[in-house]
Amino acid sequence: MKIAVIGATGMVGSVILTLLEERNFPVTELLLVASKKSVGKQLFFKNKALKIIAIEEAIKAKPVIAIFSAGGETSLDWAPKFTHVGTTVIDNSSVWRMDPNKKLIVPEINAQTLTKEDKIIANPNCSTIQLVMALAPLHKKYKIKRVVLSTYQSVSGTGAKAVKQMEGEEKNTDSEMAYPYQIHRNVIPHCDVFQDNGYTKEEMKLALEPQKILNDQSFSITATAVRVPTSGGHSEAVNVAFDIDFTLDQVRTIIKQTPGVTLQDNPETNTYPMPLLAHNKDEVFVGRLRRDFSQQNTLNMWIVSDNLRKGAATNAIQIAEYLVDKELL
């Protein structure tokens, strides 16, 4: 089981390496790929030093799976070249997600759609994954009509440069700017680039990706994506209107029974999801469940997850595990 990790030195790449070890994925040979300036440097996997290699060398090695976390341009250029040598690519960038010929996979929801013919598999946006993990079982029961959400996204979602900016601002030292404004003690209503319609690219991902994952375009989503000065973990305030009425007890039971989702919902004990509690965990946490008293059949909920784990690396590894388990490679 020869595995390549493209973008091994990045924030998501390093978590992928950790998870391959933690989850005891059956790796027989691990190929670590990063930018040209990193080639020859070493990373450790299972206490063994491995040299970073060039992407061309990784293709020649013909890995069974290549997990990409190196940005859209790299994925667009190199993912097809891996498939030409028989490799199955799991891609964390956004470039393949809305391609009608590529599957967009959250394993708990739609892994069963995968076949041996799927050689490039898209990993959804981090905020999308935690949203659909909580909404999918409720959609099945009550049928979603419309979702309105606001995100509270940590700087780690932008990358190491953003984390360094915030840490530098906290210490009052100069740092390279990842954002157009200070993020320390600030909130920036701007995730990704603005589109012609006034929404950001991140907000449009949240509008479109859940429809593809749930294979249903009958509902609509509108989002405001906001960057907040936390180092890890994304949060979402979600208002969801259903066709069918519900009780809060029913909703709590459904969430409790959903694999990969944990209910944290007790106002009397101040129990609710927070990024601090979700750190380094693979679950999606749901709480602050309450009826929207302003209209019928509508639920308010608060969803939190570690964006580097279930929002990226864990989901990608789970896809790989499914491919191995179902012998789809």
CATH assignment of the domain containing 280: 3.30.360.10
Query: What local confidence, expressed as pLDDT, does residue 329 receive?
Result: 96
Specify whether 171 is located in the same domain as 250: yes
Specify whether 80 is located in the same domain as 153: no
Specify whether 118 is located in the same domain as 133: no
Q: Total domain count for the chain? A: 2
Specify whether 173 is located in the same domain as 52: no
Here the tokens at position 63 are: 């890995």
Q: What is the CATH number of the domain that holds 98?
A: 3.40.50.720
Query: What local confidence, expressed as pLDDT, does residue 123 receive?
Result: 98
Specify whether 294 is located in the same domain as 149: yes
Residue 84 annotated in active site: no
Query: What local confidence, expressed as pLDDT, does residue 79 receive?
Result: 98
Query: What local confidence, expressed as pLDDT, does residue 22 receive?
Result: 97
Specify whether 193 is located in the same domain as 265: yes
Specify whether 78 is located in the same domain as 132: no
Query: What local confidence, expressed as pLDDT, does residue 118 receive?
Result: 98
Task: Choose, from 84, 184, 234, 279, the residue flagged as catalytic.
Answer: 234
95 is in which domain, residue-wise? 2-124+312-325
Residue 126 annotated in active site: yes
Specify whether 155 is located in the same domain as 288: yes
Task: Choose, from 84, 126, 139, 190, the residue flagged as catalytic.
Answer: 126
Chunked into runs of 10 residues, the chain (329 residues) has average pLDDT values of: 97 97 97 96 95 98 98 97 98 98 98 98 98 98 98 97 97 95 98 98 98 98 98 98 98 98 98 98 98 98 98 98 98
Specify whether 283 is located in the same domain as 320: no
Query: What local confidence, expressed as pLDDT, does residue 75 receive?
Result: 98
Specify whether 70 is located in the same domain as 134: no
Angle at 98 between CA 101 and CA 150, to 5 degrees: 155
Specify whether 191 is located in the same domain as 217: yes
Specify whether 139 is located in the same domain as 159: yes
